[in-house]
Chain A
Amino acid sequence: MRGLLARRMKFNLLGAFLISMGCAALYKFGVAEPRKRAYAEFYKNYDPIKDFEAMKAAGVFECAPPK
């Protein structure tokens, strides 16, 4: 019983710290970084005019109908 609570609390505190840090790291390198890269890739060679012309041709615009 000597220092039982202290021991368990230390153990649990360390575990909680590691798990939360692990989750944060996992999210950062699993979700955040790939997403940033995907957006960078998309906008590297993005031509909005060409995109607009393609959408217009498909007929999705009400005020810019395909001629």
Chain B
Amino acid sequence: MLASRVFSLVGRRSISTSLCLRAHGHAGVVKAEDYTLPAYVDRRDVPLPEVAFVRDLSAQQQALKEKEKASWSALSVDEKVELYRLKFNETYAEMKKGTNEWKTILGGILFFLGVTGIILIWQKHFMYGPIPHTFSEEWLSAQTKRMLDMRVNPVEGISAQWDFEKNEWKK
């Protein structure tokens, strides 16, 4: 029994070794991931991207590419446009075109401002206690009178707005 177990061990090892040999023997390199290869971008500051837009050409497109190798005056306008679209995704005009995204953004901003407002109103109504007694009308008027008596900010501030002769606010 021990002998058979040893044999299965040896057998498994030999199989796995051959598998490894096959994997390493063939290519020698790992297949390159897409994100590691040069990519196409539609950017205003990249006028000629690293690769063309269309990677796998159909037979028709390949024929057109062959025709491109000859004199360009032989190409029709449609063929020229087709060649352009093979190489580039969007024209500069299409790239620079504005979207309506700002409306969504503005709407979102205003909406969340409104939500905040509702929260604040709820808080004032249901949560906060009374404000200090120093905000009552009597206290505020007494406070202002004392500020005027002390001549607070007489040049450009509150005492400059008060007419001390007539005892009233300046018009």
Which one, A12-20, A22-30, A53-61, is touching chain B? A53-61
Q: What is the chain A residue whose CB lies nearest that of B154?
A: A42
Is A10 part of the binding interface, using a Cβ–Cβ cutoff of 8 Å?
no
Which one, B31-39, B55-63, B145-153, is touching chain A? B145-153
In angstroms, Cα B26 to Cα A12, docked, is 59
In angstroms, Cα B92 to Cα A1, docked, is 13
| Closest chain B CB from A41 CB (angstroms) | 8
Contact with B along A33-62 (1 / 0, CB 8 A): 001001100100000000100110011100
Interface size range of chain B in the complex: 10 to 19
Chain A residues near B149 (CB, 8 Å)?
Answer: 55, 58-60
How would you classify the secondary structure of chain A's contact residues: helix, strand, loop or mixed?
helix
Given contacts A1-B47, A60-B146, contact A51 B151 (CB under 8 A): yes
Number of A residues near B (Cβ < 8 Å) is 11
Given contacts A1-B47, A60-B146, contact A55 B156 (CB under 8 A): no
Given contacts A35-B156, A38-B156, A60-B146, contact A55 B47 (CB under 8 A): no
Q: What is the chain B residue whose CB lies nearest that of A34?
A: B156
A38, B155: Cβ atoms closer than 8 Å: yes
Chain B residues near A35 (CB, 8 Å)?
Answer: 156
Contact with A along B143-171 (1 / 0, CB 8 A): 00010011100111000100010000000
| Closest chain B CB from A51 CB (angstroms) | 6
| Closest chain A CB from B122 CB (angstroms) | 41
| Closest chain A CB from B108 CB (angstroms) | 30
Q: What is the chain A residue whose CB lies nearest that of B145?
A: A58
In angstroms, Cα B145 to Cα A59, docked, is 11
Among candidates A1, A39, A42, A55, residue contacting B150 with C-beta atoms closer than 8 Å: A55
Q: When A and B form their complex, which 10 residue pairs have the shortest distance between CB atoms, in order from nearest?
A: A58-B149, A42-B155, A60-B150, A60-B149, A38-B156, A38-B155, A39-B155, A55-B151, A55-B149, A51-B151
> Could you list some 17 contacts between A and B, CB below 8 A?
A35-B156, A38-B156, A38-B160, A39-B155, A42-B154, A42-B155, A42-B160, A51-B151, A54-B151, A54-B164, A55-B149, A55-B151, A58-B149, A59-B149, A60-B146, A60-B149, A60-B150
